[in-house]
Amino acid sequence: MSTESLKMMAVDFGASSGRAVIGYFDGERISIQEVHRFDNEPVQLGDRLHWDFLRLFHELKRGMTKAKQQLGRTPASIAVDTWGVDYGLVDPKGRLVSNPYHYRDLRTEQPMREALKRIPEKELYARTGIQSSSINTVYQLFADEELRLAQNDRGLRMLFMPDLFHYYLSGTMASEYTIASTSGMLDAVRRDWSTDILDGLSIPSSLLNPIIMPGTPVGSVRPDICAELSLEAMPVIAAAGHDTAAAVTSVPAGDAPYVFISSGTWSLMGIELTEPILTERSRQLLFSNEGGTEGNIRMLKNIMGLWLLQECRRTWAMEGTELSFAELTEMAQHAPRNGSYVDAGDAVFLPPGNMPQRIREYCRSTGQAVPESRPEIVRCILESLAFKYRQTLDEIEELTGKRIEQIHMVGGGIQNRLLCRLTANVTGRTVVAGPVEATSIGNLMMQAKAHGEVGGLADIREVVRRSFPPEIYMPEDAAEWEERYRGYEQRLVLQKTEDS
């Protein structure tokens, strides 16, 4: 790596952990190095569930210190990305009103029902393109007690989580487009706040900040933080605040139509479009339209993902058997194909706790052979995910009218090579897997763009292709897997449609 490389810092906050990485970009290739990793555990305080923002900001500063120690100097810039929908409220003096609520806090369910009486769900979707869920920012704000108490205070401001970190780093308030698009308050066509929704739900527009596009510098690290951490002046860049948007930025795709799967605990599967699809059919199929890093749209569906396998592993560990993910996958390689499947989008699998038993009960209740052994259960999970991807692919092709030839899979889930191979076989499409560290890479490349060291999305993806050669999976046994998918569709997809 050249001594003239651009050395940047990305901080990625996930829903259970966070990490700080350094990116080295020499104009042709990028490499990354993790310098700090930490837990992100929510805190139950009375009857409310919060994020521990103060602890997370402390870990952010520790990461900045370690980055300087590793480099021997201050990084060229810093950017933060996080999960979607959550926010903090800041008072007129710049103080945090309270620790931000966790999206799993239960305070929103009844207010959501009240909000939908004011603005019907179909109308909300037609305006924002976001599926209605109690976790959405719009319902959180509608339920927020602190906001109701201070509604007449025009100085109160709302900042999404990455914007909140950027504010306390730089002193600048702004709402980055990709994270704002998860809120259920952004007009998907105009790419700006929907005043009709805000007025209809009595959410004061004075709460909100101007929308800025990904890759926008928002200032420099505050002098007091620089003094505290012995840093030089350091630009803060709103690179791509939403972690999925950052991950999709680093998909090494070309010009041919493709879908992406950001694979991990959740699987985010979708397609990039120039304009949103806001039809009643897309709402019924549970697709959301979120913002991309060039003002484009990521029309996607949220699928349960490897959560099913993670929960099985945790249950078996509690029973006294510790198994690595590699060991579980190896077990599944040799398990019989007993034709038992689950719907990886069914809410019955959302809560934690005894996932193996819930999978058995689901198969029993749907008239299938019950997977009893651990290898059978793991095989059931991985094949079910691949079938869910095929179902979602069919829906994307229906909505867009496009034939998709490639599936790009990124994220930690691609380390499960059996899942990648099953996805290619079941969909009958070429699967291009990589990079694993998609979110951090996307964050860093948007910083490089802000520095003027790389052009648009096509240039970024060319850098990623050079830096992280993907693994290619070609479909096999097409006739067999097509027949098995039709059985899955008949038993789980069509039956569920008839029941609803």
Strand 157-160 relative to strand 17-25, pairing: unpaired
What residue has token string 């509690």?
318
Query: Strands 258-263, 216-220: parallel, antiparallel or unpaired by DSSP?
Result: unpaired
239, 78 contact by CB (below 8 A): no
List, for residues 272-283, the tens digit of each pLDDT value. Answer: 999 999 999 999
Q: Give the Cα separation of 485 and 12 in Å (integer).
A: 37
What pairing do the DSSP bridges indicate for beta strands 186-187 and 192-193?
Answer: antiparallel
Catalytic residue among 52, 243, 255, 459: 243
* pLDDT band with cut points at 50, 70 and 90 for residue 149: low
Give the model confidence (pLDDT) of 388-411 as tens digits: 999 999 999 999 999 999 999 999
Question: Each residue of 215-230: pLDDT tens digit?
Answer: 999 999 999 999 999 9
Dihedral (Cα; 492, 496, 499, 500), 10-degree rounding: 180
Dist CA 68 CA 16 (whole Å): 25
pLDDT of 153 above 80:
no
Is the pLDDT reported for residue 434 higher than 70?
Answer: yes
Residue 144 a catalytic site member: no
pTM of the predicted model as reported, rounded to 2 decimal places: 0.93
For the stretch 120-140, pLDDT in tens is 999 999 999 999 999 999 999
Rounded to whole angstroms, how far apart are CA atoms 388 and 263? 13
18, 87, 198 from 82: Cα distances, Å:
9, 11, 24
pLDDT digits (tens, 9 = 90+) for 229-249: 999 999 999 999 999 999 999
Asked whether residue 1 carries a pLDDT value surpassing 80, the answer given is no
Could you give the CA distance from residue 12 to residue 75 in angstroms, rounded to a whole number?
16
Q: Report how far apart, in Å, the C-alpha atoms of 118 and of each of 113, 123, 142, 198, 283 are.
A: 9, 10, 11, 11, 19
Confidence grade of residue 338 (pLDDT, cut at 50, 70, 90): confident
Q: Please report, for residues 144, 223, 394, 427, 484, the alpha-carbon distance to residue 381 in angstroms, rounded to integers and kept in the order given.
A: 38, 51, 20, 16, 15
Mean pLDDT across the stretch 433-462?
Answer: 97
- As a whole number of angstroms, the distance between CA 349 and CA 372 comes to 18
Contact 276, 129 (CB under 8 A): yes
Residue with the larger pLDDT of the pair 149 and 153: 149
pLDDT surpasses 90 at 286: yes
E strand intervals along 114-264: 157-160, 175-176, 186-187, 192-193, 211-212, 216-220, 235-238, 258-263
pLDDT in tens, 157-190: 999 999 999 999 999 999 999 999 999 999 999 9
Q: How many helices (H) and strands (E) does the chain have?
A: 20, 21
Q: What is the mean pLDDT of the chain?
A: 94
pLDDT, average across residues 61-76? 98
